Chain A
Amino acid sequence: MEAFDALMGGFAIALQPTTLLWGFVGCFIGTLVGVLPGIGPALTIALLLPLTYHVPATSMFVMFAGIYYGAAYGGSTTSILLNTPGESAAVVTALEGNKMARNGRAGQALATAAIGSFVAGTIGTLALTFFAPLVVDAALAFGPAEYFSLMVLSLVAVSAVLGNSMLRGLVALGLGLLLGMVGIDLQTGQPRFTFGRPELLDGIEVTVAAVGLFAVGEALYLAWQGRETKTGEVMKLSGSLWMSKQDWARSWKAWLRGAFFGFPIGAMPAGGAELPTLLSYYTEKKLSKHPEEFGHGAIEGVAGPEAANNAAAAGVLMPLLTLGIPTSATAAIMLSAFEGYGIQTGPQLLSQQGGLVWTLIASLYIGNVILLILNLPLVSLWVKLLKIPPPWLYAGIIVISTAGVYGAGNSVFNVGLLFVFGLLGYLMRRFDFPAAPLIVGLILAPMAEQSMRQALTISQGEWSTFFTRPLSGSLMAVAALLLIVPPLWKQWRHLQAR
């Protein structure tokens, strides 16, 4: 139990009153940036970095841990209440979360998100504490071929978010995949569909597209609706804000499964937090005893993806702490922060700077608890947002989205892009096309294309590499089974019933 003793040492340092205070500050700021669309934790930490060099290293890490987890959690709040995800990993949460809010169950949706984030964040941190070396080996085993197979599996899972009409869903997904092709072709360096604009060379930013489609699109849609029907939309809150016994029963397994997806995929260098939310949603929809509720506010559809999101946030720290490889923008900035304190990251970090690393891990546990304490009472405050008259609320959302997108990249071009996507989002809602598949396509297309071509270059053009490598082959097999078995099963059940 060497890890345990070291962890206790970390707690002893992180639990000092002033350090805790920084933790609270971090969680508060983190929740705030998570809630505000377009502003992410990476930008926030980057801006705070120069200010924090005057603070002791441990306090700073406790604060960063708070910002980090706070942002992962905060993104879900606006997803649920206003159908406007603050970040791309919260897109899936909006699917069921917002439906729950519309049914007057905003309180329960926020509560399952908060508790699920806590449970999954704690599981992720536990895994980080005790299984770091194992997971790192597994993550290193994931090469381009394995990533491509994971993308194929994710494309199968997209079927869960296609909405009521498969054709409309596939159109949205296809549009997303096409938009994902914009930018420089990584392998040959050929610019594609950039129309000579250097801003498009790196592709369309997922955050801009997500905030545009959901936040701006939603606002435009409500404006149109108010004009057409004169009724507008006022959401009602009914009954208790707290989760019932049945809500608990339906949530806890989803939390655990979400954490199970989130942590390992987050720990992979090119995994990210979006894929696990999608896979979790797919699993919950397939396993639920109430599949008919999906699309109308199923609580599992909030609990699972939210847990996956926060467990992924813990996973992302794994390659950073064990190999010194930053795999997300936030991790890259944390790496700079380490360097700012003269700490050399890399494989020897744990042996050379053990005290600091264990303090950071301890502060992740503490950050999780602080978030729960901070957010459960806030649930009743957040739902009051819905009492603001929609015209004011959505005008505010447009202002904040614009400021957030502009602030993130200092780019007027991105603001223009935000409104183009806003218009697209409005048209898609107006004609009943789901927006989530488009975002998923936009995320998957560049990753899938890139890993496929890297894998083929490594294998000297042998397509069999995707099937002969054990991990990659297994993923492909799972994808094939998921594609084939459910329809056959349905058919069989149909025959049995007759």
Chain B
Amino acid sequence: MSHNDHQPMLRRDYLKWMGAAGLAATGVSAHAQSAWPSKPIRWIVPFAPGGTSSIVARTMATELTKQMGVSIIIDNKGGGGGVPAMQEMMRTPADGYTIVMSHIGLMAVNPLIYPDSGYDVNKDFVPVTLLSRVPSLFVVHKDVPVTDLKSLIAYAKARPGQLNYASAGNASAGHLAMEALKLASGMFITHIPYRGTGPALNDVLAGRIQLLSAGTPALLPHIKSGALRCLATGTTERISVLPDVPTVNEFGFKDFETVQWYGITARAGTPPEIILKLQQECAKALKMPDVIAKNAAESAIPGGGTSSEYAAFIAKEQARWKEVVIKGQIKPG
């Protein structure tokens, strides 16, 4: 272990946490590996504070802190499609004291659209565990005269390029999901990117834009109120909050799956026993009532599997999105 690898972290967190607790005062041990964890763990979340994902991370961090007896400090490093967060990870040692929240964009899409980021997600990082999968939904404004996916495809094919769909931005999960659907069904629908789900949702609610794909939490209340109609879910099975809505698979699109997922990733070279310990602690935390309640509120499907299961999942997602990104000519945003 080099002598001052941990100094930047102490300074950084001191600023943020000086009012919260005297965490930063914890000593830095040179023999950290012998009894991991023996000092606070920094968890980089590649989003601005306040989003769904960092709320999930905070709830998890609270449970993990209780279980492991050391503080898990959330370090929000948003922007730049998550590339700066991963570059920051590259500057930390592979000792399990800095971990990052990995997600669909970071692991499966960025490698294709940011080839010069200076790291390889598969070689420089090692998966720890999948935390949750949030179903993505395909919705239309209530005045669009279609009732299911089949009638949408017929409607769109009769009007090539005249329908529009909104997304939270280029290469956002909703953009990818809709491009995947377009690719599978052969529809031609124009993409109109916004800055975030909120503004995109606004124009769909107003009926200026016909279609949208986003995660369950943002859309569910508007589906319940009748302002939006949910045509299909991107999951492989129907979801409990919308039992009457079929999956895209049910319309004959085999192996179609679009979910937004979040997990934990560490630096490659982290000792396997640390990865295993962290994965087991996460699996335990995911069964705690607070975390279960948070996941249920988002209708998220909890993970908790092993490192190799997560690795296999990521590999499958990378293959799936490579095709969509290349054929849909998706660029960063």
Q: Which residues of A contact B (CB under 8 A)?
A: 42-43, 45-47, 49-51, 139-141, 143-144, 184, 186-191, 196, 198-202, 269-270, 319, 323-327, 329, 332-333, 336, 339-340, 342, 344-349, 403, 406-407, 409-411, 413, 450, 454, 457-458, 460
With A184-B170, A269-B202, A410-B76 known as contacts, the answer to whether A201 contacts B50 (CB < 8 A) is no
Give the top 4 A-B pairs by smallest Cβ distance, nearest first.
Answer: A346-B221, A189-B331, A46-B49, A198-B80
Number of CB contacts from chain A to chain B under 8 A? 144
B215 adjacent to chain A (CB < 8 Å): no
Q: What is the CA–CA distance of A200 and B79 in the complex, to the nearest angstrom?
A: 9
Contacts of B87 in A (CB 8 A): 198
Tell me if A336 and B190 are in contact (CB < 8 A): no
Tell me if B62 and A50 are in contact (CB < 8 A): yes
Contacts of A191 in B (CB 8 A): 332
Tell me if A47 and B49 are in contact (CB < 8 A): yes
B7 to chain A minimum Cβ distance, whole angstroms, is 13
B225 to chain A minimum Cβ distance, whole angstroms, is 4
Q: What is the CA–CA distance of A319 and B197 in the complex, to the nearest angstrom?
A: 13
Closest A residue by C-beta to B164: A458
A404 to chain B minimum Cβ distance, whole angstroms, is 9
With A51-B20, A333-B49, A348-B224 known as contacts, the answer to whether A458 contacts B192 (CB < 8 A) is yes
Tell me if A270 and B81 are in contact (CB < 8 A): no
Contacts of B51 in A (CB 8 A): 332, 336
Contacts of B195 in A (CB 8 A): 186, 450
With A47-B49, A339-B297, A406-B15 known as contacts, the answer to whether A319 contacts B84 (CB < 8 A) is no
Tell me if B194 and A454 are in contact (CB < 8 A): yes
How many chain B residues touch A (Cβ–Cβ < 8 Å)? 60
Q: Which residues of B contact A (CB under 8 A)?
A: 12, 15-16, 19-20, 48-52, 54-55, 58, 62, 75-81, 83-84, 87, 113-114, 116-117, 162, 164, 169-171, 190, 192-195, 198-199, 201-203, 205-206, 208-209, 217, 220-222, 224-225, 227, 293, 297, 330-333
Q: What is the CA–CA distance of A345 and B199 in the complex, to the nearest angstrom?
A: 16
Task: Determine which of A269, A329, A457 lies in contact with B199 in the assembled complex, contact meaning CB atoms within 8 Å.
Answer: A269
Contacts of B83 in A (CB 8 A): 198, 201
Q: What is the CA–CA distance of A46 and B53 in the complex, to the nearest angstrom?
A: 13
Contacts of A269 in B (CB 8 A): 198-199, 202
Q: What is the CA–CA distance of A411 and B333 in the complex, to the nearest angstrom?
A: 20
Tell me if A184 and B333 are in contact (CB < 8 A): yes
New A-B contacts (13) at CB < 8 Å, excluding given A42-B50, A324-B221, A344-B221: A47-B19, A50-B58, A143-B203, A184-B332, A198-B83, A199-B79, A323-B222, A329-B50, A340-B55, A409-B77, A450-B195, A457-B192, A458-B192
Q: What is the CA–CA distance of A333 and B198 in the complex, to the nearest angstrom?
A: 13
Closest A residue by C-beta to B79: A202
Tell me if A198 and B114 are in contact (CB < 8 A): yes
Q: What is the CA–CA distance of A188 and B80 in the complex, to the nearest angstrom?
A: 16
Q: What is the CA–CA distance of A386 and B186 in the complex, to the nearest angstrom?
A: 68
Q: What is the CA–CA distance of A200 and B224 in the complex, to the nearest angstrom?
A: 39
23 contacts between A and B (CB under 8 A): A46-B49, A47-B16, A143-B206, A186-B169, A186-B194, A186-B195, A187-B193, A189-B170, A189-B331, A190-B331, A198-B80, A198-B83, A198-B84, A327-B199, A332-B198, A333-B49, A339-B55, A403-B15, A407-B15, A409-B79, A411-B84, A454-B192, A457-B164
Closest A residue by C-beta to B198: A325
Q: What is the CA–CA distance of A198 and B171 in the complex, to the nearest angstrom?
A: 15
A24 to chain B minimum Cβ distance, whole angstroms, is 17
Q: What is the CA–CA distance of A458 and B164 in the complex, to the nearest angstrom?
A: 7
B43 to chain A minimum Cβ distance, whole angstroms, is 13
Closest B residue by C-beta to A185: B333
With A339-B297, A348-B225, A403-B15 known as contacts, the answer to whether A319 contacts B202 (CB < 8 A) is yes
Q: What is the CA–CA distance of A349 and B19 in the complex, to the nearest angstrom?
A: 33
Tell me if A347 and B192 are in contact (CB < 8 A): no
Contacts of B58 in A (CB 8 A): 49-50
Closest A residue by C-beta to B82: A198
B72 to chain A minimum Cβ distance, whole angstroms, is 11
B268 to chain A minimum Cβ distance, whole angstroms, is 21
Contacts of A339 in B (CB 8 A): 55, 217, 297
Closest B residue by C-beta to A454: B192
Tell me if A457 and B190 are in contact (CB < 8 A): yes
B9 to chain A minimum Cβ distance, whole angstroms, is 11
